[in-house]
Amino acid sequence: MKSPAHRTRDIERHAGYLKPEHCAPPPPRTGSDTMWFIRDSCGIVCGIITWLLVFYAEFVVVFVMLLPAKNVAYSLINGVLFNGLAFLALASHAKAMCTDPGAVPKGNATKEFIESLQLKPGQVVYKCPKCCSIKPDRAHHCSVCKRCIKKMDHHCPWVNNCVGENNQKYFVLFTMYIALISFHALLMVAFHFVFCFEEDWTKCSNFSPPATVILLILLCFEGLLFLIFTAVMFGTQVHSICTDETGIEQLKKEERRWAKKSKWMNMKVVFGHPFSVAWLSPFATPDHGKADVYQYIV
């Protein structure tokens, strides 16, 4: 007896049953296809809100807390640290948003392509009826991106993109750096409140005391909310990487047909081989090296 998940994917291996005549040839790639960007209004709004919230935190940290501080070393160290982490967070967000997450070529389920695969007897291929593509193992269709994504974990509106094989590293870095700047901002707000209670409020900020309190309270609310959300997301992503099981695979409880690797090797598959400081850089493209992305049980 086959499970419902297997029945929906049980496609015969011969080209006739795949109905390739219903699939138009894939569109030719042009120069505009080199940059990946999803035209989803909800995702675009969420992405803009993310950047605005980071800029708001920058404004409060720099102009409300650091510049008015009398201790130059305190302002300089915290300013460099916070702005550096914020820059890495936004760079990671941009890379996660504009990197192809692993989209399967659209409309490649043509008769010519299926015949070119030279399938062996008993070998099965799967066709996605929505994007008319030959679906690789561990790929799932995203209704927002309108494409099948290899090793798709989930679609995140905050980065306006799917989290998949090619951009999971940048998404993990984004959640990590946002959690770090949120924690750092909360620490600075706590120190600033203590300083202002001991000193004259008019001397601890360039703004009026009511405006300063409102700005700091809003920053506390934003920092606490983002810290909890991104820390939990960071933890779930690291757990997903270490167990080599995407969020969708866990949700659907799909049968594991790929070889089990060590947690350290799974980390190298996502962040690059070998381990280096480039793991923390959103500008470094992961080099898998000896870390095989797909190892299946024979």
Q: Does the pLDDT at position 5 exceed 60? A: no
Q: What is the DSSP string of 55-109?
A: HHHHHIIIIIIITT-S-HHHHHHHHHHHHHHHHHHHHHHHHHHHS---BPPTT--
Segment among 75-89, 187-201, 274-288 with least mean pLDDT: 187-201
User: Which 3 state secondary structure label does DSSP give 141?
Assistant: strand
Q: What is the mean pLDDT of residues 191-205?
A: 77
- Rounded to a whole number of angstroms, the distance between the first and last alpha carbons of the chain is 22
More confident residue, 269 or 10: 269
Cβ count near 8 (within 10 Å): 10
d(CA 96, CA 85): 16
**Residue pair 121/196 in contact by the 8 Å Cβ criterion:** no
Whether 156 sits among the annotated catalytic residues: the reply is yes
Segment among 87-101, 145-159, 204-218 with least mean pLDDT: 204-218
Amino acid letter, 196: C
**Residue pair 116/134 in contact by the 8 Å Cβ criterion:** no
pTM score, two decimals?
0.85
Which pLDDT band holds residue 7 (cuts at 50, 70, 90)?
very low
Which DSSP symbol is given to 18?
T
Residue among 90, 164, 150, 129 nearest 11 (CA):
129
Which pLDDT score, from 0 to 100, does residue 291 have? 52
For tokens 């306006």, the residue is 160
d(CA 212, CA 215): 5
- Where are the chain's structural domains? 41-103+162-280
According to the 3-state scheme, what is the secondary structure of the chain?
CCCHHHHHHCCCCCCCCCCHHHCCCCCCCCHHHHCCCCCCHHHHHHHHHHHHHHHHHHHHHHHHHHCCCCCHHHHHHHHHHHHHHHHHHHHHHHHHHHCCCCECCCCCCCHHHHHHCCCCCCCCCEEECCCCEEECCCEEEECCCCEEEECCCEEECCCCEEECCCCHHHHHHHHHHHHHHHHHHHHHHHHHHHHHHHCCHHHCCCCCHHHHHHHHHHHHHHHHHHHHHHHHHHHHHHHHHHHCCCHHHHHHCCCCCECCCCHHHHHHHHHCCCCCHHHHCCCCCCCCCCCCCCCECC
77-98 residue pLDDT tens: 999 999 999 999 999 999 999 9
**Residue pair 257/137 in contact by the 8 Å Cβ criterion:** yes
Which pLDDT score, from 0 to 100, does residue 10 have? 37
User: Which 3 state secondary structure label does DSSP give 149?
Assistant: strand
Rounded-to-10 torsion of CA 102, 103, 108, 109: 90
Annotated active-site residue in 23, 148, 156, 204:
156
